[in-house]
Structure 1
Amino acid sequence: MSTLEQALQQTGYDTVNIGYPSRDYPIEILAPLAIEPALKKCPSNSDIYFVTHSLGGILVRQYLSANTLPQLKRVVMLGPPNQGSETVDKLAGVPGFKWLNGCAGLQLGTDAASPPNTLGPANFDVGIIAGDKTINFILSGLIPGADDGKVSVSSTKLQGMNDHIQLPTTHTFMMSNKTVIKQTINYLQYGYFTPLNEQPANH
C-alpha cells in the first residue's frame, strides 16, 4: 500500500498504514486487531477515512457492524470479496490453502453463511473499485464473468454502496495503479468516482 499511501500524503491526508496477522485469526478477531491500533494513532477529533484492499474491506465491514465511529467520513474498498470469492469455494480443500490464506481466507466463500454474506448492507459511505484484468489465468478460469484474478467484479458489489467503478487492473497490483489511486482520492474528497470517459490516459 506504500505507493497509495504516499499519494494520499501528498494530497494532504495523514495516513496510518500498519500490518496485521492476516493468516493467524478468523475475521471476527482480525477486525479489531487490525483496526483499533490504527484508530489509536489518529487524533481524537479528526475525520476518519478507510482505504482497504481485498480482505481489508471485509474487516472494516466486520468492525463497523459492532462499533460506531462518529468521525467516519468515507471508505474506499479495492477488490473486496463482498459476496465472497469463488476461488475459495473451489480451492479451500486443496492442501496448503489454509497455510497460504489463513483462517480468514477460508471464511471468504460465496455461501450464504460466510461472513461477507452475513454482515449485511453498508450503513456507511463507501465507494468500491473492482479490477477486470488478470495475470492468474488459472484462478480466473474458476471465476465466472469479469474478474481481477482473485475476485469477480460482481462479487465486489455491496448493497448500500454509494458508488462502484470497474477498472482495467489486477487484484495484486491495483493499489499501485495510477488510475486506481486517482479515483480513490477523488472519492475520498468528493464522494464519487470520475466517469471513465473523463479519465486521462494511464501510461
Structure 2
Amino acid sequence: MEKYLKKGMSYAADTLCLEDGVPLNLLMPTLGGKQLWRDECVFVGWRIQSNLYSGHFRLLDPDDFRQAWGSYDVCLFELEKVIREKGIKAPVDPKEGGIHLVMMVHGITRSGDSFSKMEPVFVEQGMEVAAITYPSTRAVIQEHADQLDQILNRRPDVTKVSFVTHSMGGLIVRQLLAQKNNWLSHTKLGRVVMIAPPNQGSMIAEYVKQRTLYQLIYGKSGQELIPDAVQNLPIPLCEVGIIAGGRSDGKGYNPLLSGDDDGVVTVEEAKLLGCDEFLVLPGLHSSLCSQSDVITAALNYIQSGELTN
C-alpha cells in the first residue's frame, strides 16, 4: 500500500493502466458467482468482498458495480476515498440516536438479494441495512458465523445491531451469538427476527443427506441442517421473534412433510425454546422474505418487539 501512495497512484475504477504490473481496474458489473464471494466489510451499501478461491478482493458499490480490486488494503483505501469525496455517512436511527445496523442473513444457496424488497423498507426507517452475502454451500456454519463476526468488528461506529435471517441464516446467527464477540463491548445487541428457520433441524435434509446430488449442491452446510447437528446450537440470549410459513390448516404445502409447512420447513421445525414471539403467515419458503406481510411483521419486531401491530 505504502509504495502506491508514495507514487501517487490511484486505484479508481476508471484507471486504464498502472505501473509495476498492477492489473487494470475497470468499472464493470459483477458476473454473478455469489457462492464464490464473501462480504468482508460493509458500509451503507458498499462492500469489500473476497474470492473464496483466488483470495483477491473487490470493492462493490450499492449497484453491484466493481469499483476496485486487488488486496483488502487497496479496496479499503478506495472505499475510504469514496466516503470522503462523496460525503457518505451512515444513517442515524432517530429512535436510537445512533447507527442501528440491521444485518440480514440469507439461507443456503441464496444471496443477499433475498432481501431486495425488505431492505428499502428498513432503510426508510433510518436504519442501515447490510444484506450479507456469504458462500453458503462452501463452508460450515461456524465459518459463516466467523465471517459475520469479522464484519461487525470492522464497524466500531455502529451503536446497535439487530438481525433478520432467512432459513439457515437463523442457525448462523445462533452460532454467532453463542460465542465471545468483541463487537459487543461497544455495540448494543438488538432483536433477532428469524424467517422460516429450521431451528429443530430439517427432516428433508435428514432424508437426503446421503444423496450425492444433495451433497454436491448443498455442500458442507447442507450436512449441518439435520436435526442431530442443529441440536448442538445454543439458543440466543436476546429477544427472538420467529415467522414461519404455512397454511394454518395442519397440512401445509408439502404432502411429504408432517403437519403445517412452507414447502421446506415445517412450523414445528421453526420453533425455538424461549422465543418471545411466534407467527405463522401463508407463503412458500423461498418467497417469504419478499412478502409484504412478512416484511411488515419483521420491521415491527425489530422496532417494538411485537410481530403484529
Q: Which runs of 5+ in 2 are unaligned?
A: 1-114, 248-252
Distance 1:42-1:175 versus aligned 2 partners, 3 A rule: farther
Secondary structure of the residue that 1:150 maps to in structure 2? coil
Match of 2:268 in 1: 154
Whole-angstrom distance in 2 between the partners of 1:43 and 1:7: 24
Match of 1:128 in 2: 242
| Shift, 1:95, TM fit | 2.2
Whole-angstrom distance in 2 between the partners of 1:150 and 1:106: 16
CA-based RMSD of the aligned residues comes to 1.9
Match of 1:50 in 2: 163
Secondary structure of the residue that 1:50 maps to in structure 2? strand
Whole-angstrom distance in 2 between the partners of 1:194 and 1:161: 15
Whole-angstrom distance in 2 between the partners of 1:9 and 1:95: 41
Render the CA deviation track for 1:52-96: whole Å, top value 9, x for unaligned.
111110000011111243511101011111000010011112221
- Say if 2:178 is the partner of 1:80: no
Match of 1:200 in 2: none
Whole-angstrom distance in 1 between the partners of 2:295 and 2:154: 23
| Shift, 1:41, TM fit | 5.8
| Structure with the higher fraction of residues in strand conformation | 2
The answer to whether the Cα contact below 8 Å between 2:246 and 2:282 also exists between their aligned partners in 1 is yes
Secondary structure of the residue that 2:118 maps to in structure 1? helix
Higher RCO (C-alpha 8 Å, min separation 6):
1
Report % sequence identity: 35
User: How many residues get paired?
Assistant: 187
Comparing 161-170 and 63-72, the one that deviates more: 63-72
What is the aligned counterpart of 2:231 among 117, 126, 150? 117
Match of 1:19 in 2: 133
Give the AA of the match of 2:159: S
The answer to whether the Cα contact below 8 Å between 2:174 and 2:235 also exists between their aligned partners in 1 is no
Match of 2:207 in 1: 90
Secondary structure of the residue that 1:3 maps to in structure 2? coil
Whole-angstrom distance in 1 between the partners of 2:151 and 2:120: 17
Secondary structure of the residue that 1:173 maps to in structure 2? helix
| Structure with the higher fraction of residues in helix conformation | 1
